[in-house]
Structure 1
Amino acid sequence: MDGGSGLNLIYAETLDTMGIDRSRLRPSKAPFHGVVPGKQATPLGQIDLPVTFGTPSNYRKEVLTFEVVGFRGTYHAILGRPCYAKFMAIPNYTYLKLKLPGPNGVITVGTTFQKAYECDVECCEYAAAITVTSDMAVQLAEVIEDLPDAKQSGTSFEPTEGIKEVPLNPGCSNGGVVRISAALSPK
């Protein structure tokens, strides 16, 4: 659960694993930011799914609207503020607990510090991999822009303005010449 998220997200891979047909998706309204580091994400659509917390003797079940995303994530789903509001849930990040009212008392959902740490590490590694991949794509695009025109021969040289011809061997009249910029300093 992520109290900073304004959306409930579920990954398309999670829907596939659950055996839910993607034809159930409704068109989604708009793209969002902050899920993929530094990028805008466009959902595949929306879906309403029942979510249950608790035990058979004390549980709450509500239908939540999820934005379905087509990229890979480190979780199965992200439950955001809309989930907190619908379940009237209160998170305690220090104790890694989520508490919500149930028909037979308070329902407590929790995890271990070890599991939370493992999820954080995996999430950070995934974010770093996305950032590196994105940086490499930008660098590749820059290299492609800087490539010479393929129609020009790699061995031909067309002088531009300000070129000075300097003989390779000043004592020989039929020796080769080097073309250098006339704007260079004498040093």
Structure 2
Amino acid sequence: MYADTNSSKASTKRKDPEDSEIQSRDLCFPALEDKKASKDPLIIQAQIFDIAVRRVYIENGSECDIIYEHCFLQLPKTIKARMTNPTGPLAGFARNRVWPLGEIDLDVTLGNPPFARTETLDFIVVRAASPYNLLMGRPAIQRMEMVPSTVHAMVLFQTKSGVGIIKSSYD
């Protein structure tokens, strides 16, 4: 989005495909046919820098991206040193108002080459009991151009080489 200098309204402008490394392609899920639709949450694996992170929860109802403290503490000191002070509380998190420990920008990679995509995402560091390491909410879904489907138990996303697919690893 950019601000239009001639009006107070914000406008959306899509990049010209020639200017972008990632080309838009049709994202199509396979037919379910004899398979039953999944009712499980979408749990995937991602990488933070070169570190594999399992139990990443894709939650399109969340307004923020979260890294839980137990996962944050496993990161190298050089990465943890990038954490900044929180800007305010999280309202509605675990049905309470929670003060985060901090905020941090992390390079997150989805998929495997050649169908991989890396973006820098803004995470809020939270101390809370959770079976998950990361919660990727709407900001990550939009930034990574993910199309999650709980019915298909998979996530599709655009890459330089085509459409990336990650199947849910819920167990």
- For normalisation by structure 2, the TM-score amounts to 0.61
- Other-structure match for 1:10: 67
Following the alignment from structure 2 to structure 1, what is the Cα–Cα distance between the partners of residues 138 and 108? 14
- Other-structure match for 1:97: 154
**Amino-acid identity (%):** 27
- Other-structure match for 2:53: none
Residue 90 of structure 2 is aligned with which of 25, 32, 36?
32
Following the alignment from structure 2 to structure 1, what is the Cα–Cα distance between the partners of residues 125 and 160? 30
Q: Which runs of 4+ in 1 moved over 4 A?
A: none
Structure 1, unmatched stretches of 5+, are 119-187
State the Cα deviation string for residues 134-160 of structure 1 (Å, max 9, x = none). xxxxxxxxxxxxxxxxxxxxxxxxxxx
- Other-structure match for 2:168: 111
Following the alignment from structure 1 to structure 2, what is the Cα–Cα distance between the partners of residues 34 and 92? 24
- Other-structure match for 2:47: none
Following the alignment from structure 1 to structure 2, what is the Cα–Cα distance between the partners of residues 13 and 107? 29
Following the alignment from structure 1 to structure 2, what is the Cα–Cα distance between the partners of residues 99 and 57? 14
State the Cα deviation string for residues 93-137 of structure 1 (Å, max 9, x = none). 11111111111110011125xx2xx4xxxxxxxxxxxxxxxxxxx
Following the alignment from structure 2 to structure 1, what is the Cα–Cα distance between the partners of residues 157 and 77? 28
State the Cα deviation string for residues 15-37 of structure 1 (Å, max 9, x = none). 1112345432111111113332x
Between the two proteins, the alignment pairs up a number of residues equal to: 113
Q: Which has the larger radius of gyration?
A: 1
Following the alignment from structure 1 to structure 2, what is the Cα–Cα distance between the partners of residues 51 and 104? 18
- Other-structure match for 2:144: 87
Q: Which is richer in helix?
A: 1
Between the two structures, name the one with larger relative contact order (CA 8 Å, sep ≥ 6).
2
Closer/same/farther in 2, CA of residues 75 and 20 from structure 1, 3 Å limit: farther
RMSD of aligned Cα (Å): 1.5
Structure 2, unmatched stretches of 5+, are 1-57
